[in-house]
Structure 1
Amino acid sequence: MNTEHNWITTPITTDILRGALELEHTAHGVLPHRLPARARAQCSDEQLARSESQPSGVRLVFRTRATAIELDTVPTKQVYVGAPPRPEGIYDLLVDGRLTGQATVTGGNTLAIDMATWTAESRPGPPGTLRFTELPDGDKDVEIWLPYNETTELVALRTDAPVEPAPDRGRRVWLHHGSSISHGSDAASPTAIWPALAASLGGVELINLGLGGSALLDPFTARALRDTPADLISVKMGINLVNADLMRLRAFTPAVHGFLDTIRDGHPTTPLLVVSPIFCPIHEDTPGPTAPDFATLGTGQLRFRAAGDPAERASGKLTLNVIRDELARIVAQRAAEDPNLHLLDGRALYGAADSAELPLPDELHPDAATHRRIGTRFAELAFTATGPFTDGSA
């Protein structure tokens, strides 16, 4: 710890943390979760456990005169056996809404994942310290956005002036659920994931339940959405169901209805936007499962491939085009009695022309430039005067 300042330690509580549904007390401090304990207890899948504990969209938010801030954390950094090293998780510092600093934390735990066997080995490590100094003097709103790709235990927050919860600015709360694309995969930083960009442009507070590999129409996720206060809700579904080859069309249709029914149990009239998959060439007409292309590891670039057979569509296997057509039919059917239910074709966010210009580097996930494009387009389509999330001011 730096001793040049007269540090004040502030407990990390829900008063100064946004974007998490629950805080777990650990041996080191607190661990933000994006699914509640009841949901976590209903599924033992390690992929889900990793995804929901990675704090995408989670941020410390407070008001202070401090010019120096330290944050002790224990990150868990993922490495893939035989694959190139992954970038360090980035913390974004916003002062009065403007990005003013970025940093990483060294140390922490390591989780080594073997994609050939889908086993993982955990190696413990020490806490690390994040520092931001020479901040402007005077009262200001401070936000520290946590890395979207590193499970992050929060150990201690220190400042050289007192901290208080930021005042309520009266912004609407947008609750979003989606896959790894919504989670943030391959974005430049936590405020550069497409939902965070869209939230900033739309002037709303984000709760991001983008769960890498885990947007699977799970009933416990629907109940988490049902039970979370929100002014706006969106659900982006499809790609993970193809990736995992989880269900056939016969199961998909009632599962979507059930998922939407559960959300409506808690939010009967809230604007609810169903977003179909963005364009993904390998799965437009080829079912899953999705498999790593191990032949590309030697090139320094992990890529994915579709391992299904297009002929299997006849037996009800899902492709992205099948899912888009069925979601359009379901939403049209339900909208006759639910005027606050809307559909957004994911290809309006990223379509075939975008794929030609900005191809998905690993055949599955967007890069930083594509996150910016998707976020900007979502804001234009959802938050403007003609969009389903308009506040009526435009």
Structure 2
Amino acid sequence: MRSVPLVGGPVEIRGALDLVTTPWGVMPRRLPAWTKDQHQDPTEYGVTVMPSGVRLVFRTDAREVEFDVLTTTGQLDSEPQPQPTGTLELLVDGAPAGRQQAPLGNVLRMAGPGAEQLLIPGEPATVRFTGLPTGMKNVELWLPQQTPTELVALRADGEVLAPLPDSRRRWVHHGSSISHCLGADGPTGTWPVVAASLGGVEVINLSQAGNAMLDPYVARTIRDMPADLISLKIGINIVGLAAFRRRTFGPAVHGFLDTIRDGHPHTPLLVISPLSCPAFEDTPGPATTGPNGEVTALGDPADVAHGALSLTVVRAELTRIVTARRASDPHLHYLDGRELLGPDEVDDLADGLHPTAAAYRRIGERFAAHAFASNGPFQ
């Protein structure tokens, strides 16, 4: 086995816009380094180092490859075990070639959400894939979408070369946990990856679980990066945190779109409203999680008349905004999120909010059928 440099060599790390240097190696991060100074909450940084859509890409004639990685996962004091570390998936020439559970590494212990964390340090472990096909081939290692993963070392029993340029269109997507897909059955089971595979495009997933808040630094990131297609899923986090009122929501959406259009004036841009979620359809946030794990809304439905946001209001506002802007922006499109998961499918919400693994795949298939259709926004 020969060692292959992870940085400055033939390996490309795609899906990440920053590499954080750690004592062990490098950790991919899905937003640029400059955005860290604008975070208001540690969870903002935490979700950007959860590598949804991040993969190592190279060519090799090796029959066996080894990756040393160090994961970091959380554990509440009330829980007997750390949270699942997720799955590493290997693709060879685009086809599945192996799945391995990500090894347990660092553990962050805490009394509850938002409490002070105690780091129990771990060490890197090796994940090995054997029996790869003979000859030169394209290899992708997809990192677990829910688990920060430090890349420590790569070894192969053959030659490793840089990947060929990716000639596919680049699709940039931003959304909430429902696009981050922590509960998918693996990194290639997230709905953006499923849709990208069906649509024949390369996806960059900038979704941030719990933090899709129309943050200006995200809009500037999208503005400044190459993109052939752009989609934004807007609303559920804003309602769940009661972050805006009707008066402030519309201008924030306009400002977010204006910033993106500064860099991509004619790029197809699809705005997606929230999927069905019974708790928030007519009741505003904030959200809470009950003892049974179900997500519920704490707001007063009567407050909607005074400017509070429910999902029904958000969908109406997004429809109004997109319709008005299309008069001068024909490349702007709208998709009602209930076409991806509707009110008759809420049994597929594992906790009343987040889809099951099977539902994530179905959402990806439906998105692809809509967006990449011959008359679709991403045709």
TM-score range, shorter chain: over 0.9
Residue 273 of structure 1 is matched in structure 2 by 270
- 1:35 paired with 2:26, answer no
Structure 2: which amino acid aligns with 1:51? V
Out of 311, 324, 339, the position equivalent to 1:333 is 324
Cα distance between partner residues in 1 of 2:116 and 2:176: 21
C-alpha change, 1:216 and 1:87, in structure 2 (3 Å) is: same
The corresponding residue for 1:8 is 3
In 1, Cα distance between the equivalents of 2:257 and 2:207?
17
1:284 corresponds to which letter in structure 2? E
Q: Indicate the residue corresponding to 2:200 in structure 1.
A: 203
Give the whole-Å Cα distance in 2 for the aligned partners of 1:197 and 1:217.
25
Cα distance in 2 between the residues matched to 1:341 and 1:83: 45
| 1:185 pairs with 2:207 | no
2:109 maps to 112
Larger CA deviation: 197-206 vs 42-51: 42-51
Percent identity over paired residues: 51
Q: Give SS of 2:366's match.
A: helix
Distance 1:109 1:263, change over 3 A: same
Specify the alignment match of 1:299 in structure 2: none
Select 1:383's aligned residue among 368, 372, 375.
372
CA RMSD of aligned residues (A): 1.5
Question: Could you say which residue in structure 1 is the equivalent of 2:118?
Answer: 121
Residue by residue, what CA displacement relative to the aligned partner does 1:129-166 show, whole Å, maximum 9, x if unpaired?
Answer: 11101111111111100000001111111111121121
- Provide TM-score, normalisation by structure 2: 0.96
Structure 2 CA distance for aligned equivalents of residues 199 and 267 of structure 1: 20
Distance 1:238 1:312 in 2: 18
Alignment CA distance shift 1:194-1:109 (3 Å): same
Residue 357 of structure 2 aligns to which amino acid in structure 1? A
SS in 2 for 1:210: coil
CA distance in 1 between counterparts of 2:78 and 2:305 reads 37
User: Is the counterpart of residue 18 in structure 1 residue 14 in structure 2?
Assistant: yes
1:304 partner letter: V
Is 2:49 the partner of 1:49?
no
> Are residues 1:75 and 2:40 paired?
no
Aligned residue identity for 2:44: L
Q: Within 5 A, what are the aligned runs for 1:176-325?
A: 176-293=173-290, 295-296=291-292, 302-325=293-316
Shift in CA distance, 112/315, structure 1 to aligned 2, threshold 3 Å: farther
Local SS of the residue matching 1:131: strand
The equivalent of 1:99 in structure 2 is: 96
| Residue identity matched to 2:225 | T
Q: 1:366 aligns with which of 346, 355, 362?
A: 355
Q: Is the 8 A contact 1:94 1:142 kept in 2?
A: yes
AA aligned opposite 2:200: G
Uncovered stretches (5+) of structure 2, i.e. residues with no partner: none
Contact persistence 1:182–1:193 (CA under 8 A): yes
- The answer (yes or no) to whether the contact 1:12–1:156 under 8 Å persists in 2 is no
Query: Aligned partners of 2:128, 2:99: CA distance in 1, in Å?
Result: 10
Distance apart, 1:9 and its partner CA:
2.3
- Give the Cα–Cα distance (whole angstroms) in 2 for the partners of residues 118 and 239 of structure 1: 24
Asked if 2 retains the 8 angstrom alpha-carbon contact of 1:21 and 1:36, the reply is yes
Normalising by structure 1, we get a TM-score of 0.92
What's the CA shift for 1:10? 2.8
Q: Residue in 2 aligned with 1:3?
A: none
Count of aligned positions: 377
Aligned to 2:62: 66
Native 8 Å contact 2:3 2:153 kept in 1 = no
**Is 2:184–2:190's contact at 8 Å kept on the other side of the alignment?**
yes
Counterpart residue identity of residue 68, structure 1? E
Instruction: Tell me which amino acid in the other structure corresponds to 2:314.
Output: I
| AA aligned opposite 1:352 | P
* Cα displacement (A) at 1:106: 2.1
* Secondary structure in 2 matching 1:285: coil
Does the C-alpha gap of structure 1 residues 116 and 212 become closer, same or farther in structure 2, counting only changes over 3 Å? Answer: closer
Instruction: Tell me if structure 2 keeps the 8 A contact 1:278–1:347.
Output: yes
1:105–1:129 Cα contact (<8 Å) kept: no
Q: Which amino acid aligns with 2:375?
A: T
Per-residue CA deviation, residues 56-95 of structure 1 (Å, 9 max, x unaligned), is: 0000011100111111111111223435753331011111
Which residue type is aligned with residue 365 of structure 1? H
* Mapped partners of 1:117, 1:65: distance in 2: 47
Q: Which amino acid aligns with 1:361?
A: A
Structure 2: how far apart are the matches of 1:325 and 1:115? Answer: 36
